[in-house]
Amino acid sequence: MQSQADGYHHDIGAALQLLLSAGGKRLRPTITLLIGQMLNAPIDRLITLASAIELLHTATLVHDDLIDGSLLRRGMPTLNSQWSPGATVLTGDFLFSCAAKLAAETESIPVIKLFTHTLTVIVNGEVTQLLSGHNCITREMYYQRIYAKTASLIETAARSAALIAPTSETTVENMRAFGYEIGMGFQIVDDILDFTGEEATLGKPVGSDLRQGLFTLPTIIFNELYPENPAIQTLIDGSRSLSDEQVVQLVNDIRHSIAIELSFKEANQFVDRGLSSLLTQPNKKERQALEELAKFIIERKT
């Protein structure tokens, strides 16, 4: 990934180094590499594909953080907190172009088509969230949003690895399903941790989604259980905003409600369905690693 900046403006290389050194879980490329190796895909094309996917993810984060005005990501200052908006936009564009270049280097038309389609889905999801306001109050809207935001790229990370292998259509479909289900579960757990995590581990205040007016699964389930809660109703009808104290109270109410357990149950169902898509595969070490990765997604604290 770092070598993508070679030969271009040195500040681009510096920005890329900064972004890559912050690390992150590298969930998407890990899934690509494990599935690809499980299916005997050629390692060089697999590495190219995994890099394309992680750089695409990084590019979307750069523009997201700029739009949201976020100052920290993965415990490091965001690019937009240090650079001008213009330089940040262009760095994101540069990362998009690198991701597209690496995707093209896989020389697989199906993979390239899938990759460009996924980018459209992700950006359309961001546009929808930005322009339609935050409050999705039904599970259906929530699932659409987290599919666009998170699961679509994890699905593509898994499916494209199978396409590269190459392998049977059934296996491609199973791997796609694994990525989709794991991706949905991953984002639900993320949204739960926003309520239950420790501020120090999260690197942001507890309940930050709700503070920004964003409804996630715990809030939606809490609303289904307690439709008369006045704070929730105020947020839904949007007629006036809540005081800081009222938001903290609501976050606490949700945090200590059964909505958390019920959200975990949903996440578990997704991840279990994902795991069942692996069952047709021979019990190789990569399959075991994917199973452990699925377990990590549910059990992680950050």
Quote the CA–CA distance of 183 and 73 in Å, as a whole number.
Answer: 20
Name the minimum Å distance from CB 7 to its own copies.
Answer: 9
The residue (of 72 and 127) whose beta carbon lies closer to its own copies is 127
Q: Record the tokens describing residue 292, joined without a space.
A: 């452990």
The residue (of 60 and 219) whose beta carbon lies closer to its own copies is 60
Name the minimum Å distance from CB 47 to its own copies.
Answer: 18
Name the minimum Å distance from CB 201 to its own copies.
Answer: 28
Name the minimum Å distance from CB 141 to its own copies.
Answer: 13
Beta-bridge partners for 77: 72
Quote the CA–CA distance of 255 and 245 in Å, as a whole number.
Answer: 15
Nearest to 279 by CA among 269, 270, 290: 290
Residue 214 carries which side chain, given as an amino acid letter?
A: L
The residue (of 108 and 171) whose beta carbon lies closer to its own copies is 108
Q: Record the tokens describing residue 267, joined without a space.
A: 């996440």
The residue (of 75 and 86) whose beta carbon lies closer to its own copies is 86
Name the minimum Å distance from CB 50 to its own copies.
Answer: 17
Q: Record the tokens describing residue 164, joined without a space.
A: 């590269």
Beta strand spans in 48-203 (E):
72-73, 76-77
Hey, how many other C-beta atoms are within 10 angstroms of the C-beta on 291? Answer: 14
Chain residues that interact with its own copies, rule: CB under 8 A: 8-9, 11-12, 63, 66-67, 84-87, 89-94, 96-98, 100-101, 103-105, 107, 109, 112-113, 115-117, 119-120, 123-124, 126-128, 130-132
The residue (of 60 and 174) whose beta carbon lies closer to its own copies is 60
For residue 242, the SS3 value is coil
Name the minimum Å distance from CB 25 to its own copies.
Answer: 23
The residue (of 107 and 173) whose beta carbon lies closer to its own copies is 107
C-beta of residue 155 within 8 angstroms of C-beta of residue 33? no
CA 151 to chain centre: 6
